[in-house]
Amino acid sequence: MSADNIVVIGYRLKLAFEGTALEALMPKFEPNKTFKDKEKIDADLASKRAAWLAEAVQTPYLATFDEVYLSRPKKERVWRGTSIERGKDTGKPPLSVSVANWLLREFPDWSGELVGSGRSPALFIGFNPKLFLKVLGEECSLPGIFKPLPPGMWYGSSDNYRDIEEAIIPGGFEKRLSLETVLKLRWPTSEADAASWERLKTWKEPGVNPQLDGMLATELAGQLGFLRNW
């Protein structure tokens, strides 16, 4: 895979449903059977609902894109979009369709109408790119949208993405190494290199500011060798 074909991603998700539509999808929770006090029961149910919602916003079908940042560093091409600009309230297709359209324009050679029949011409790099691709693929295939994507783009293979967080924190060491610790160690030591990282000082965690996610992923991809001569 050539560095020319790398797509750096940053994205923020939100719940795809609200109000009665969200209530209809939420499981019916039962309180702890040992609780008799109404306040304890209500608190227990509220805690379970909150936990479900926290997971739902990271779950395909239940989540949708709120903002997306896409960059082809070697081509110096960047695309950004927000849900405010698109979706049911604007008369425009959802943000996922705009993302898909950009990718298909950038990579017209997507191959594979059948699962496993072709390889992705792009390599996605970012924080949790697997979730990004699953949300994209599932949403675009839904009735009412029905813009199914080439399976090689999003389904069944880890060959087409590199997870930055997984790359900088070796497997099995997650409990001993936090993102904050690792990033302190990866901050450039020379003043010249550190200057380009200054804008990233406000970065806190993935999924909050898609542009900063993409910028940090780009810098780390250079350190890791995913982007050679960067």
C-alpha–C-alpha distance, residues 153 and 159, integer Å:
10
Over pLDDT 90: what percentage of the chain?
A: 54
Strands 123-126 and 6-15: parallel
Give pLDDT, residue 189. Answer: 85
- Report the range of poorest mean pLDDT among 43-57, 78-92, 123-137, 173-187: 78-92
Give pLDDT, residue 192. Answer: 75
C-alpha–C-alpha distance, residues 199 and 219, integer Å:
12
pTM exceeds 0.95, yes or no: no
Phi, psi for 223 (deg, rounded to 5): -60, -40
C-alpha–C-alpha distance, residues 70 and 125, integer Å:
10
- Contact 11/67 with Cβ under 8 angstroms? yes
| DSSP state, residue 87 | B
Over pLDDT 70: what percentage of the chain?
A: 92
